[in-house]
A and B are shown apart, each in its own frame.
Chain A
Amino acid sequence: MWPAIIVASLGCYAIKLLGVSVPRKWLAHPRVAHVAELLPVSLLAALVATQTFTDGRHLVLDARAAGLLAAIVALRFKAPFLVVVVVACLVAALVRVAA
C-alpha cells in the first residue's frame, strides 16, 4: 500500500508545482492567457456535472440532482455559501428518505 500512497502523493504535488511553475512568458500570449482563464471554469463545471450525474462509469439521476437543483435555487436567492451547501445536502437527504 505504501508505494501507491507515495507515488500518488508525490506525483500529485509534482503536478501542482509544475502548473504554477510554467514560465509566465509562455502564458503571456493573449490566446494562451485566455485559455488559462477559461480552464478553471470548464474543469469545475465538468466536476459538478460528473459528481452529480455519474456513479462510477454509469450515468445516473438520483437525489444528488435534486440537491444540485436546490443549490441553484438557493444561489438565485443570493444565499451565502454555507447555506447553499447545507440546503443541497438537506434536499438530497430528504429525497432519499422519501424514495
Chain B
Amino acid sequence: MADEELSETDRSWSTTRRGVLRDAIGVGVATGAYGLSFGAISVAAGLSILQTCVLSLVLFSGGSQFALVGIVGAGGAPMTGAATALLLGVRNGFYGLRLSRLLGLGSWRRFAGAQLVIDESTAMAVARTSPRSARFAFWATGLSVFLLWNLATFVGAVATHALHDPRVLGLDAAPPAAFLALMAPRLRSREPQVVALVAAIVAIASVPFVPTGVPVLLAAGVAVLAGFAGSTGFGSRNSSSDDDSSAVEARA
C-alpha cells in the first residue's frame, strides 16, 4: 500500500491516471453491452422507450432495473417490481458508508456523487490504494458507466430485436466476471478473502428461502460480524487504509 502511495509522485500520477481512465472506459463499455439488453428487455416487458430511459437515468442501478422490468415482464404488479428494486438498491447505501470516507464528498458534489454510487464505481474506487486515485477512479468509472449505460439503454430499447435474451453471446456471464475482476486487487490479504468467500456462500445458501434482493443484504451481515469480531486480528492492512481515509479528510 505504502509503495503505491510513495510511487504516486506527480511524475507517475499521469501514468496512474491513464491506467485508471483506461479501466474506467473498459468498465463503461462492458456495462454498456449489458445496457443494450436492459433496453431491449424493458421494452419487451411492455415499458415505453421513455419509461425505459427514465429508469436508466434516474434509478441508475443495473440489478434493480433488471429486477423491476423482469417482474413486470413476467406479469407481476409494477409496485412489487419497485419494492424488489428498492431492496436490491439498499446495497448502494452500504457502499456509500465506505465511499463517503474515502472520497470526502462535500456539499453539492454529494448530490451528484450519490447518483454514481453503484457496484462498478465502488469496486473501482476501493481497489485503489491512494485516496487521490480512489477519487479519480470513482468519478471516472461512475461517469463512464452513466454515459454508456444510458446510451446503450436507448439503443437497446429502440432496437429490441435479438437482444432481449442476454444469454445470447454469453452476456449474462459478463457482470459476475466484471465484478470479480474489479474486486481482485482487494482480495490479496486473508481477511477480505475469507469475508468474500463466506459472503458468497451465505448469499447462495439463502437464495431458495428469502425474497429476491435479500441474499446480497445478508452478505452485509457477514461484513458486520467480521468487522466487529476481527478488528484486532488483521491489523496491518486495516490501519493503512484508515490512513488513506484520514488523508482524504485532511485534503478535502
Contacts and interface: CB of A to CB of B under 8 A. Distances in A.
A67 B97 contact: no
Given A20-B105, A36-B98, A88-B174, A47 B119 contact: yes
Q: Which interface class (under 10, 10 to 19, 20 to 34, 35 or more) fits B? A: 35 or more
Contact of A48 (B29, B169, B200, B228): B200
B234 to A, nearest CB: 9
B169 A93 contact: yes
A54 B185 CA distance: 25
B182 A54 contact: no
B17 interface: no
Dominant secondary structure at the A interface: helix
Q: Which interface class (under 10, 10 to 19, 20 to 34, 35 or more) fits A? A: 35 or more
Interface of B: 22-23, 26-27, 29-30, 46-47, 51, 54-55, 58-61, 63-64, 68, 72, 78-79, 81-82, 85-86, 89-101, 103, 105, 110-111, 113-115, 117, 119, 122-123, 126, 167-184, 186-187, 191-192, 195-204, 207-208, 212, 215-216, 218-220, 222-224, 226-228, 230-231, 238, 241-242, 245, 249
Interface in A8-66: 8-13, 15-22, 24, 27, 30-54, 56-59, 63-64, 66
Given A47-B63, A81-B27, A90-B170, 13 more contacts: A5-B54, A9-B54, A13-B114, A38-B191, A42-B220, A44-B119, A45-B203, A46-B202, A47-B176, A51-B175, A64-B173, A75-B181, A89-B169
13 contacts: A4-B78, A8-B68, A16-B114, A19-B114, A22-B97, A36-B101, A38-B192, A40-B123, A46-B200, A56-B212, A81-B30, A81-B178, A88-B170
